[in-house]
Structure 1
Amino acid sequence: MTVLHAFGVDGPARRLAGGQGTSWAAGEVVLKPDGGALHEWLADAFADVTCDGFRLAAPVRTRDGAWGLQGWSAMRWVQGAEPDYSAVSTWQEILTAGRAFHRAVARLRRPAFLDTRRDWWAQADRAAWAERAIRFVPEFTALARRLEEALQPLGPPQLVHADLTKNVLFDPGLPPAIIDISPYWRPPAYAEAIVVADALCWHDAPSSLWRTVDVSAAAVARALLFRMATTNERVLSGDQGADLQDEARRYDLAAAAIGL
């Protein structure tokens, strides 16, 4: 209750579904653990961002003016729900919201804390851009080589949200709400391609989706390499939750959809 009170909330909290299952909603506030440098940077960097074609959840200070307390940070609750991922139009709408977001944040400077990240996703991202060596498990080795052969430059980097797939909420009459920003310093085409890769791998999207939404095969190849490298990082760290055979099959089907 101390944390809730500090953020101006006096009611009960409820755990939110989705994500990593560590977020709680209380009143008009969503609380998350370990915001740290990311949350403080978001709060400062996005203060002057103009939301044109999308909504953002505003960071919330404590009553004392701090951005966090006892390992918790807070954001305003935004109205909206996940869309129907079985509809091709949903993927276009997610990408449209993402493109509006990336236009709005194009002027932001590269955040220094990106260099200190060592989580699975950050390490996999560096591997996908050949900034660090990676040894793929046997299930992924052959496909990784095929994907690497298809890579091409994707344009200049900027701040991007590289996990849009389940982090765009929709509500009738309101612009899409973009939540849980995962910042990377990469070309926007990469962030868009991750959405397409997710759709092909996990949501039974038609194989022609990348053409429909105008995302290049080279971009999707790099996005698939990133997602595959993330699973690889999990496995090498000792995590046993991945079904390597199933994931290899899904990545291979997605690669075939873009002609690889």
Structure 2
Amino acid sequence: MDIAEYNRRAWDAQVAKGNRWTVPVTSEIIASARLGLWSVVLTPQKPVPTEWFPKMSGLDVLGLASAGGQQAPVFAAAGAKVTVIDNSARQLKQDQIVAERDGLQIESVLGDMRDLSDFQSESFDLVFNPCSVSFIPAVQKMFDEAYRVLRPGGLMMCGFVNPLRFIFDEDKLKTRNLAVRHRLPYADDTHLNANELNQLRADGEPFMFSHSLENLIGGPLRSGFILRDLFEDSEEADELSAFLPTYFAILAQKVGEQTQST
């Protein structure tokens, strides 16, 4: 099975279902962003620290697998020049809905987060990648490509699922009856039984994969990034979050002259 093609259809279906990550921001949020009052997330709840961001005016931003009408329109309203690449055409349409409604410019590109060949090297100042690498089976190529398209001193912000979350039975994560079930690294297509896979497909849910901390943190370092900061976050509806942070985000930088920060 072509995982990228399956997940493209699955995320298109998630838009139709009104998944929380596919619901566009309001005009009020865009109006505030134009006044310099804005925040975005890489993980479920905690806003990305303001000090992580350079001055947005004129900044070339690549939203990497981050369509959905949420972060990209905010960046555009704050003054950035925004391009978004995403595997889902319907997710990209959500960004354009906001752009058309509120008079914003956002370039949308349909494609795989691991293949940025549409973009020249050193084209962007910021790569912004909310939690999405759980939908690809390997991450190093993505980090390598992000490094290539960033200018020297450019920043990469990524959100990740804590791999520990994948050892538990997904159906029991919303209960206190947590059961350790899976050996890591996890993949839906190899760890679920036939009935569970059929149900996942019937529900239009995307296939997911775990990645080790070695690959999520070491991967950017192997690409050439330096790690500048990180934070942890939790998911309110996930009972596992009562025991430990189930998400985290990193700020990495391409070696070179540092981008001016606010």
TM-score by length of 1: 0.23
Larger radius of gyration: 1
Q: Which has the higher helix share?
A: 1
Greater RCO between the two (CA within 8 Å, min separation 6)?
A: 2
TM-score by length of 2: 0.23
Q: Which has the higher strand share?
A: 2
